Amino acid sequence: MTLNPTSRYILESLSISSKSLKELSEESSIHKNILFFALENLKLTDYILETNNSYSLNKFQIHNIKNDLSNIRSKRFEIKNILDSAKDKFFEKEDALKISKVFLTKEELDITQGLFKQLTSFLNDKSKKRTTENLKTKHVFYWGSQSYQDVLTHLYQ
């Protein structure tokens, strides 16, 4: 099953603790009607349970939830949504997305990849901490590189 961004958000939020519709809406700034529809769909898949107006993950479905969150279609959909948002912000906000086309020597490319590895390590360490904070205060980072030839080749496939 491919999970949309709202469903992904709900599952991530409920993995921290059970929440009411109001709490999910306040935490995410997503309208209650949108959340309600997504919650109903997740209930149909048996991924979440509703008890006394509070939603929680169905502990018996954790394996399936993890599989759906990590399958290639879901990951592609999530990445597409993140990059679409970044693309839109690129024209609105200066620091939303940086793109540089540069010539690098092999040594400079190795240095850049080393810096990416340091950043990855730093962010992985941070992602293991502070799991109880409001999810909408999280930041999404994206980085990477590819050859200009790969970009051009992709355009004409």
71: domain CATH number is 1.10.10.10
10 Å CB burial of residue 112 (0-12, 13-18, 19+) is: middle
Claim to verify: residue 55 and residue 117 sit in the same structural domain: no
Domain housing 76: 1-93
Number of domains making up the chain: 2
Q: What is the dihedral of CA 83, 63, 128, 137, to 10 degrees?
A: 50
Q: Model's pTM, two decimal places? A: 0.73
As a whole number of angstroms, the distance between CA 41 and CA 58 comes to: 14
- Residues 6 or more apart in contact with residue 41 via CB below 8 angstroms: 7
For the CA atoms of 78, 84, 89, 90, the dihedral, rounded to the nearest 10 degrees, stands at 120
**3-class state of residue 50 by DSSP:** strand
Q: What is the pLDDT of residues 26-55, one digit of tens each?
A: 888 889 999 999 999 999 999 999 999 999
Tell whether 41 and 13 lie within a shared domain.
yes
The Cα 41–Cα 148 span in angstroms is: 41
Q: Mark whether 62 and 25 lie in a shared domain.
A: yes
Q: What pLDDT was estimated at residue 65?
A: 93
Q: Kindly report, residue by residue over 92-144, the tens digit of the pLDDT.
A: 776 667 788 899 999 999 999 999 999 999 998 888 776 666 777 788 888 88
Which residues in 8-23 are b (16+ Cβ under 10 Å) and which e? bbbbebbeeebbebee
Based on the domain organization, do 121 and 50 belong to the same domain? Answer: no
Do 71 and 111 lie in a common domain? Answer: no
Task: Say if residue 59 is in the same domain as residue 85.
Answer: yes
pLDDT, tens digit (0-9, with 9 covering 90-100), for 80-106: 888 888 877 777 776 667 788 899 999
Same domain, 64 and 119: no
